[in-house]
Structure 1
Amino acid sequence: MTTFALPRPSVSSHRTIVGAVALAAVVCLWSSFALSTRALETTGMSVGDAAIVRFGVPAIALAPWVPRTLRRLRGERASVIALVLLAGLPHFLLFAWGAHLTSAALTGLLVPGTVPLFVAVLLFLGFRAPISRRRLIALGAIVAGVAASATLTGGPAGPDGIAVLMAAGLVWAAYTIGLSRTRVDPLGVIALVSLTSLVVALVLAAAGALPSQLFSGTVDLPAWGTYALVQGVGTGLLSTACYVVAVKNLGSSITAAAGALSPVLTAVVAVPLLDEPLTAGLAVALVLIVSGVVAFALAPGRAARTPPADPRR
């Protein structure tokens, strides 16, 4: 009797599937982050409150991992640690500030939309990582989309808001590169970023540098509870964990590029949820950026005549 065995999936295909699933979750959770941050003003919570809740939930949940993470940091380079920490309070404050100055759709578009560009530039400047011609064209489409969003969308967005959101994209790109180089495990990364950001946010709020209801005794418990679920659990735990898994399995460039798909979901959901219009200018920007993202992800990562270079060495 002849038996036939089904081929077992290769390790590379398994990693691709795991990375793709994690990346899909990241897109959805990033969209909820942009929407909830833009809606922060309607909840009565301040930026300081949001930061404390955002980082407090994962910091408390992952407290058992802190001692182990601190031991792992002994052999880590200070520059890598600094890059990883950028994903915490620095990125959150820039993102929240940009959301206040613009709209949810534009916030969700410009931040992840500029990350692939900044990752490619930083890798080229720091490690001389070559960029293939196809990826250069794809990045050009993303740049055109960002320019279109800045000039054609209208509304409350001004040059200051655009600049702040692009700075947030640059900070996240630097974090993405640091994440690909760190030896700390995913849970350790979340614990480190959350605990450090929580401590700094509490200090700034206590000193009056960040407005907070926590120190004025006027905490709105329902608003804090909702924000703890959406941002603390959703963004603080799930999205960060999924992003780490995606980077480890797919690489930093593809993960950063595909993350730019979240603006589509953000722009569509913002129409009924926040009563924001889906303008023709925004539609043009979305088409350009999504086209660039898809082309970037499908294009070869290196020029044909350039020998492979591992930026993590």
Structure 2
Amino acid sequence: MTTFVLPRPSALSRRTVVGIAAVAAVVCLWSSFALSTRALEATGMGIGDAAIVRFGVPAVLLAPWIPRTLRRLRGEPATVTALVLLAGLPHFLLFAWGAHLTSAALTGLLVPGTVPLFVTILLFLHRRTTVSRTRLIALAAIVAGVAASTILIGGIVDAGGIAVLLAAGLVWAAYTIGLARTRLDPVGVIAVVSVASLLAALALAATGAMPSQAFQGNVDFPAWAAYALVQGVGTGLLSTACYVVAVKNLGSSIPAAAGALSPVLTALVAVPLLGEPLSAGLVVALVLITCGVAAFALAPARTASRPMASDPASAPNR
């Protein structure tokens, strides 16, 4: 009698499966960030409450790493630290404001979709960094998608809301450059951003500069718990961890290109969840920007031999 033994999965196949699972998780978590931010008004939470929950959860969970992170910050250039801190409360407030003025689909599309464009512009202005022709074509597609979102999409969307979302993309691009230059590890980055943003959010909410139901004695615990799970744990911790796992198992290009799928998922889920229409103009903008981001991620970084100081396509967008 012949016995057949099934071959064991190779190390490569296991890494591929783990990487693909991590990429899928990242796409879902990035999409949930845009959807939950857009749905913030329905929860009854003020923007101050949302910021406290968003940054308070990772700050508490990463408390054991805070002393070590503070010691490492002593040798960090002030400009780099400032760029890294942009990923906290400044980006969150612009993101939330843009989501309030536009839609979940546009928020999930324009902010991460324009990061490669803004990073390229900032690096060119600072170091005259050049990019390959393929990436220039990809950036042109992103610009065309932004133009399409402004011209073709009507209704609740206005130029002011799109401008705020573009500002959020610019802020995240500046953070991406700072992230490439910081000596902090990923846990240290999350810790310092979360603690600084939490302290700022508490101060602004306590003084009334940001609306907060908590400081008025009104706390909807189920809403806070759900928001803490989605944004505090999901966006604040798991998305970064999953992205690191994806890059380690698949390399940087594939996860970065797959990350362009998050705006598509956001737009599709926003239809039944938030009642947002999937218009022809939105589809055009989605196709242009998503294809542009994917092509940018997969194309060679430069025609010159010296690599870019920061590859915008390989940086996590949350």
Answer yes or no: same fold by TM over 0.5.
yes
**Matched letter for residue 31 of structure 2:** S
Pairwise CA RMSD: 2.6
**Residues 1:142 and 1:258: Cα distance change in structure 2 (over 3 Å):** farther
1:55-134 alignment runs, 5 A limit = 55-134=55-134
In the alignment, the residues of structure 2 paired with residue 17 and residue 77 of structure 1 have an alpha-carbon distance, to the nearest angstrom, of: 39
Identity of matched residues, %: 76
**Matched letter for residue 98 of structure 2:** G
C-alpha displacement of 1:7: 9.2
Once the two structures are superposed, residues 71-118 of structure 1 have per-residue CA deviations (whole angstroms, 9 ceiling, x without a partner) of 111221111111111110000000000000011111111111111101
C-alpha displacement of 1:182: 1.2
**Matched letter for residue 308 of structure 1:** R
**Residues 1:284 and 1:166: Cα distance change in structure 2 (over 3 Å):** same
**Matched letter for residue 91 of structure 1:** H
In the alignment, the residues of structure 2 paired with residue 310 and residue 254 of structure 1 have an alpha-carbon distance, to the nearest angstrom, of: 18
Report the counterpart of residue 159 of structure 1 in structure 2: 159
Report the counterpart of residue 309 of structure 2 in structure 1: 311
DSSP 3-state at the match of 2:176: helix
Contact 1:144-1:288 within 8 A present in 2 as well: yes
In the alignment, the residues of structure 2 paired with residue 256 and residue 147 of structure 1 have an alpha-carbon distance, to the nearest angstrom, of: 23
C-alpha displacement of 1:8: 7.3
Contact 1:22-1:245 within 8 A present in 2 as well: yes
**Residues 1:190 and 1:205: Cα distance change in structure 2 (over 3 Å):** same
In the alignment, the residues of structure 1 paired with residue 291 and residue 21 of structure 2 have an alpha-carbon distance, to the nearest angstrom, of: 21
Contact 1:129-1:309 within 8 A present in 2 as well: no
Report the counterpart of residue 204 of structure 1 in structure 2: 204
Once the two structures are superposed, residues 206-231 of structure 1 have per-residue CA deviations (whole angstroms, 9 ceiling, x without a partner) of 11101111111011111111111111
Contact 1:115-1:256 within 8 A present in 2 as well: no
1:112-261 alignment runs, 5 A limit = 112-243=112-243, 259-261=259-261
**Residues 1:257 and 1:167: Cα distance change in structure 2 (over 3 Å):** farther
In the alignment, the residues of structure 2 paired with residue 30 and residue 8 of structure 1 have an alpha-carbon distance, to the nearest angstrom, of: 28
In the alignment, the residues of structure 2 paired with residue 99 and residue 242 of structure 1 have an alpha-carbon distance, to the nearest angstrom, of: 25
In the alignment, the residues of structure 2 paired with residue 21 and residue 80 of structure 1 have an alpha-carbon distance, to the nearest angstrom, of: 33
**Residues 1:7 and 1:258: Cα distance change in structure 2 (over 3 Å):** closer
In the alignment, the residues of structure 2 paired with residue 145 and residue 185 of structure 1 have an alpha-carbon distance, to the nearest angstrom, of: 34
**Residues 1:27 and 1:54: Cα distance change in structure 2 (over 3 Å):** same
Equivalent residue pairs, number:
302
Contact 1:113-1:257 within 8 A present in 2 as well: no
Contact 2:118-2:170 within 8 A present in 1 as well: yes
**Residues 1:310 and 1:160: Cα distance change in structure 2 (over 3 Å):** closer
Contact 2:301-2:308 within 8 A present in 1 as well: no
Report the counterpart of residue 42 of structure 2 in structure 1: 42
**Residues 1:177 and 1:51: Cα distance change in structure 2 (over 3 Å):** same
**Residues 1:235 and 1:290: Cα distance change in structure 2 (over 3 Å):** same
In the alignment, the residues of structure 1 paired with residue 22 and residue 128 of structure 2 have an alpha-carbon distance, to the nearest angstrom, of: 29
**Residues 1:200 and 1:103: Cα distance change in structure 2 (over 3 Å):** same
**Larger CA deviation: 43-52 vs 123-132:** 123-132
List runs of 5+ in structure 1 lacking aligned partners. 1-5
**Residues 1:124 and 1:290: Cα distance change in structure 2 (over 3 Å):** same
C-alpha displacement of 1:294: 2.2
TM value normalised by structure 2: 0.87
Contact 1:28-1:262 within 8 A present in 2 as well: yes
Contact 2:55-2:197 within 8 A present in 1 as well: yes
In the alignment, the residues of structure 2 paired with residue 112 and residue 199 of structure 1 have an alpha-carbon distance, to the nearest angstrom, of: 26
In the alignment, the residues of structure 1 paired with residue 28 and residue 242 of structure 2 have an alpha-carbon distance, to the nearest angstrom, of: 11
TM value normalised by structure 1: 0.88
In the alignment, the residues of structure 1 paired with residue 126 and residue 241 of structure 2 have an alpha-carbon distance, to the nearest angstrom, of: 26
Contact 1:258-1:293 within 8 A present in 2 as well: no
In the alignment, the residues of structure 2 paired with residue 258 and residue 92 of structure 1 have an alpha-carbon distance, to the nearest angstrom, of: 23
**Matched letter for residue 172 of structure 2:** W
List runs of 5+ in structure 2 lacking aligned partners. 1-8, 311-318
